[in-house]
Amino acid sequence: MQKIGLFYGSDGGNTENVAKRIANALGDVEVFDVAKVEKSKLLEYKNLILATPTYGSGDMQGDWEEFLDTLKSEDFSGKVVAFVGLGDQDTYGETFCDGLLPIYEVAHKEGRIVGFTATDGYEYEESKAVVEGQFVGLILDEDNQEELSEQRIQEWTQNLKGQFQ
């Protein structure tokens, strides 16, 4: 398996913390804050993990908004892409992890998406991060289900090891 590039955006620190935990679980991963990296760095990797929180009523994290503006679907051609979304299913249950969708929409047209997860065990009303009955990636709620995060990370990363190239 080739090295993985994990790109995250984080304001409050939860997504950065989760990114580091995922990198530790997987091993050969380089972690980048999208606020401090150029698009050219993302293009260097065949295997990608893209992580973002959702703020407010479904808003994408600000640094990701700016970074996403530099990306095109073609940038993901030949790449294997996994997603991580953080959200608050209690306070924002009607827009749970919706901030992940714009990133998914750009990447899935040309990239091979891996790491879908079941929606079981979550208590939300609506989520744009659900496609064909599954979350488009690892979904975590560090506000209401923090005690489940470590197990979810471990199971998800074990699954990914067989899907990255």
Structural domains of the chain ordered from first start: 4-161 (3.40.50.360)
The mean pLDDT value for 54-73 works out to 94
The mean pLDDT value for 59-82 works out to 96
Of the pLDDT bands very low, low, confident and very high (cuts 50, 70, 90), residue 145 is: very high
Q: What is the amino acid identity at position 134?
A: Q
What integer pLDDT is reported at residue 149 of this predicted model?
Answer: 97
The mean pLDDT value for 52-63 works out to 93
The mean pLDDT value for 70-78 works out to 97
What integer pLDDT is reported at residue 114 of this predicted model?
Answer: 98
Beta-sheet pairing, 29-33 with 4-8: parallel
Q: Is 93 helix (H, G, I), strand (E, B) or coil?
A: helix
With a pLDDT cut of 90, the percent of the chain lying above it is: 94
Q: Which residues of 54-77 are buried (b: 16+ CB within 10 A; e: fewer)?
A: bbeebebbebbbebbeebeeebbe
Contacts of 36 (CB under 8 A, 6+ apart): none
Name which of 1-5, 47-51, 60-64 the model is least confident about: 1-5
165 pLDDT more than 90: no
What integer pLDDT is reported at residue 56 of this predicted model?
Answer: 85
Contacts of 107 (CB under 8 A, 6+ apart): 48, 50, 71, 73, 76, 79, 81, 83, 113
Under a CB-based contact definition with an 8 Å cutoff, are residues 37 and 45 in contact?
no
Q: How far is CA 83 from CA 52, 91, 117, 127, in A?
A: 8, 22, 10, 15
9 pLDDT more than 80: yes
For 89-136, how does the pLDDT look when each residue is reduced to its tens digit (9 = 90+)? 999 999 999 999 999 999 999 999 999 999 999 999 999 999 999 999
* Model pTM score: 0.96
Under a CB-based contact definition with an 8 Å cutoff, are residues 18 and 154 in contact?
no
Q: What is the amino acid identity at position 153?
A: I
